[in-house]
């Protein structure tokens, strides 16, 4: 089994001037706007580079999916219909971008003091400025990584100019993996400072932001542990799925790349085989996950349990037949108040730029009985209604305004 080489914890004191005042960290603003060169860290080894590429893309001898090398995490547009949107193409990065979009919405709507003071409902979201969106994306990156690192240590993967692996029969160069340096960060404030300093690497589009975030998550968790999470030594995070695998989404959402969405640990076996453990979701997530798929593909393992269906806050990453989006409500008490769940609004958004507003009424039964009728027309709207009914069975859903789906 491959063992990672020892790495030196990144020394912030030598690289920048940081002043602490109580729990606050003060830093020089001009460092964030400039494109600081990446210095320090531990260069990637040949063995680890091949292992990392294999766990993520399945092999190191063929080129990785091109979209991961050119997808930045923040597309800047002069006029955006949805100010808080993280726009992304319809490809295998969509799952990762949807999780980050959910983190951005959670931060802007529920964690941001300005939103709490100045605006009610979802009005603040529609007035978000670019600088506020950048702050939200950086915070989302930090929180995803800190979660994967179990709030103890994160290993950041950042590229430098020097190439440590050359083209060979065992490795196909991609321009990023062979130039990585790794930085161990053991404090959240220091992680935030470092992400801000090198934010251009993550945010600029086109750029390597998507693959750097994913590589950092996998390296933080450990490639061997990610394979163990997926419960299949032949698995890979980026497979044949059009918008990314469910294991990729659970890695970013829960910190573990599990394909099992049920609560806790379930032992599966029969009289001819020993029972084996399937590790599902071990604790309640702040951001939820709802999944709707063809009945032929459903089983108990890939149906989300209550820890994903009922998160701490009313924000969900959603998957309808493999297509990812985000659904949210602006009332933080929605899932803690039975009366609030009788009738409430939801907003559905995709990173392709689609948005729909709808109302869910759990006091009325759906007249079409979509959950039980196999002959229901397979349309995006029908799939979203089925998705909602996985959380609120047989609820009546009404749509407002445009409802074009991607």
pLDDT level of residue 144 (50, 70, 90 thresholds):
very high
Whether the per-residue pLDDT at 275 is higher than 90: the answer is no
SS3 assignment, position 13: helix
325: nearest Cα among 297, 298, 352: 352
8 Å CB contact between 103 and 317: no
In a 3-state reduction of DSSP, which class is residue 349?
strand
For residues 392-406, average pLDDT: 79
Mean pLDDT, rounded, for 99-113: 93
pLDDT at 293: 84
Distance from C-alpha of 114 to C-alpha of 101, rounded to nearest angstrom: 19
Of 114-118, 213-217, 338-342, highest mean pLDDT: 213-217
At 31 the pLDDT is 42
The pLDDT tens digits of the residues spanning 375-386 come to 445 688 889 999
3-state SS record for 18-57: CEEECCEEECCCHHHHCCCCCCCCEECCHHHHHHHHHHHH
Residue 201 has pLDDT above 90, yes or no: yes
Q: What's the rounded mean pLDDT across residues 96-105? A: 98
DSSP state letters, 99-110: HHHHHHHHIIII
Average pLDDT over residues 38-47: 96
Model pTM? 0.87
Give me the pLDDT at residue 402, please. 60
Q: What is the pLDDT of residue 368?
A: 47
Convert 161-185 to b/e letters by CB count within 10 Å (16 or more is b): eeebbeeeeebbebebbbbbbbbbb
Q: Over 90: is that where the pLDDT of 61 sits? A: yes
Secondary structure of residue 363 in the 3-state scheme: strand
pLDDT at 19: 43
pLDDT at 214 (0 to 100): 98
Average pLDDT score over residue span 100-126: 81
Spatial distance between the Cα atoms of 339 and 336, rounded to a whole number of angstroms: 9
> Percent of the chain, pLDDT > 90?
71
Predicted confidence (pLDDT) per residue in 327-339, tens digit = 999 999 999 988 8
Q: Determine the pLDDT at residue 193.
A: 97
Q: How far is CA 77 from CA 86, 130, 199, 256, in A?
A: 11, 9, 18, 34
Q: Please tell me whether the peptide bond between 206 and the residue prior to it is cis, using omega within 30 degrees of 0.
A: yes
Helix 46-57 and helix 223-230: axis angle, to 10°? 20
Q: pLDDT grade, residue 366 (50/70/90)?
A: low
Nearby residues of 131 by Cβ (< 8 Å), 6 or more positions away: none
Question: Distance (Å, rounded) from C-alpha 364 to C-alpha 383?
Answer: 19
**Averaged pLDDT for residues 271-276:** 77
| Residue 51 pLDDT | 97
Residues β-bridged to residue 290: 318
In the structure, what pLDDT confidence band is assigned to residue 28 with cuts at 50, 70 and 90?
A: very low
The residue-averaged pLDDT of 343-356 equals 95
Contacts of 235 (CB under 8 A, 6+ apart): 227, 247
Q: For residue 225, what are the contacts with CB-CB under 8 A and spacing of at least 6?
A: none
* Residue that wins the pLDDT comparison between 187 and 7: 187
Alpha carbons 374 and 308: distance in angstroms, whole number: 26
Question: In sequence order, which residues have a C-beta less than 8 Å from that of residue 320 and are 6 or more positions away?
Answer: 292, 293, 380, 383, 384, 386, 387
Question: Can you tell me the distance from the alpha carbon of 275 to that of 199, in angstroms, rounded to the nearest whole number?
Answer: 46
HSE-up of residue 327 (Cα within 13 Å, Cβ side): 26
Mean pLDDT in residue range 257-273: 86
CA angle 244, 79, 88 (to 5 degrees): 5
């Amino acid at each position: 089994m491959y063992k990672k080489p020892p790495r030196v914890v990144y020394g912030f004191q030598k690289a920048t001037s940081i002043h602490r005042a109580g729990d606050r960290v003060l830093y020089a603003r001009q460092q964030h706007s400039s494109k600081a060169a990446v210095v320090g860290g531990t260069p990637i080894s040949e063995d680890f580079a091949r292992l990392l590429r294999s766990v993520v893309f399945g092999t190191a001898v063929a080129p990785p999916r091109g979209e991961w090398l050119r997808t930045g995490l923040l597309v800047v547009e002069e006029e955006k219909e949805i100010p808080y949107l993280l726009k992304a193409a319809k490809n295998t990065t969509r799952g990762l971008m949807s999780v980050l979009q959910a983190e951005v919405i959670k931060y802007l709507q529920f964690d941001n003091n300005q939103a709490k003071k100045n605006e009610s409902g979802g009005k603040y979201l529609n007035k978000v400025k670019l600088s506020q969106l950048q702050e939200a994306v950086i915070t989302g990156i930090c929180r995803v990584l800190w979660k994967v690192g179990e709030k103890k240590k994160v290993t950041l993967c950042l590229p430098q100019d020097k190439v440590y692996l050359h083209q060979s029969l065992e490795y196909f160069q991609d321009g990023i993996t062979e130039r990585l340096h790794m930085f161990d960060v053991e404090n959240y404030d220091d992680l935030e400072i470092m992400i801000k300093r090198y934010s251009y690497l993550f945010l600029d589009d086109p750029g390597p932001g998507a693959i750097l975030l994913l590589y950092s998550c996998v390296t933080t968790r450990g490639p061997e542990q990610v394979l163990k999470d997926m419960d299949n030594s032949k698995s890979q995070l980026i497979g044949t799925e059009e918008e990314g695998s469910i294991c990729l989404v659970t890695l970013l959402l829960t910190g573990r790349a599990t394909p099992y969405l049920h609560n806790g640990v379930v032992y599966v076996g029969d009289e001819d085989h020993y029972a084996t453990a399937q590790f599902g979701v071990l604790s309640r997530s702040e951001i939820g996950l709802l999944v709707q798929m063809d009945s032929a593909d459903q089983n108990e393992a890939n149906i989300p349990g209550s820890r994903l269906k009922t998160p701490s806050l009313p924000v969900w990453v959603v998957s309808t037949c493999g297509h990812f989006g985000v659904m949210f409500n602006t009332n933080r008490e929605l899932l803690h108040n039975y009366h609030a769940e009788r009738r409430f609004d939801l907003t559905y958004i995709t990173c392709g730029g689609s948005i729909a507003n709808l109302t869910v009424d759990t006091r009325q039964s759906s007249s079409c009985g979509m959950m039980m009728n196999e002959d229901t027309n397979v349309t995006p709207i029908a799939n979203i209604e089925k998705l909602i009914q996985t959380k609120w069975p047989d609820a009546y859903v009404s749509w407002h305004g445009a409802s074009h789906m991607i």
